[in-house]
Amino acid sequence: MSSESPTATWNRIETTDRRHFSDPDSAFGAAHEVLGRKWHLRIVYYLLADGPMGFSSLKNHLDGVSSKMLSESLSSLEDQGLVSRDIVSDQPVRVEYSLTERGSGLEPVVDAIVHWDTEHGLVEGDR
């Protein structure tokens, strides 16, 4: 194993290959804001897997989430430009949530996290 720091390793990589690694604090901070909230990543996962859905359908997928927390999480994701809220019908009011293009861009991240958990995640006794 190399004794080099991760920063030194990234600094050796060609600029064209580094993509956005020039400021990892910014990248990790942004990722944490979206993915570090308990329900955000789960909401994105189900919208990726099942497509647009209403509030009740999402709530049914998310075991243990309160209506208030789901509402707050959806509002936050909407404010971040990851989820869009569309009124499907007026009487009764029916709302459908879907991922924006920006939200759909999280698909490789979600896939990588699920794959990592399959390969290296906690064993049942550790959860």
28 versus 80: the higher-pLDDT residue is 80
What are 26-49's pLDDT values in tens digits?
A: 888 888 888 889 999 999 999 999
What are 68-77's pLDDT values in tens digits?
A: 999 999 999 9
The Cα-based distances of 51 to 19, 37, 86 in angstroms read 30, 21, 13
- What 8-state DSSP symbol labels residue 88? E
What are 1-10's pLDDT values in tens digits?
A: 445 444 444 4
Give yes or no for residue 15 having a pLDDT over 80: no
What are 48-70's pLDDT values in tens digits?
A: 999 999 999 999 999 999 999 99
Decide: 122 and 86 in contact? Cβ < 8 Å: no
Domains of the chain, CATH where assigned: 25-119 (1.10.10.10)
Which of 113, 77, 112, 116 is CA-nearest to residue 97? 77
What are 88-112's pLDDT values in tens digits?
A: 988 888 999 999 999 999 999 999 9
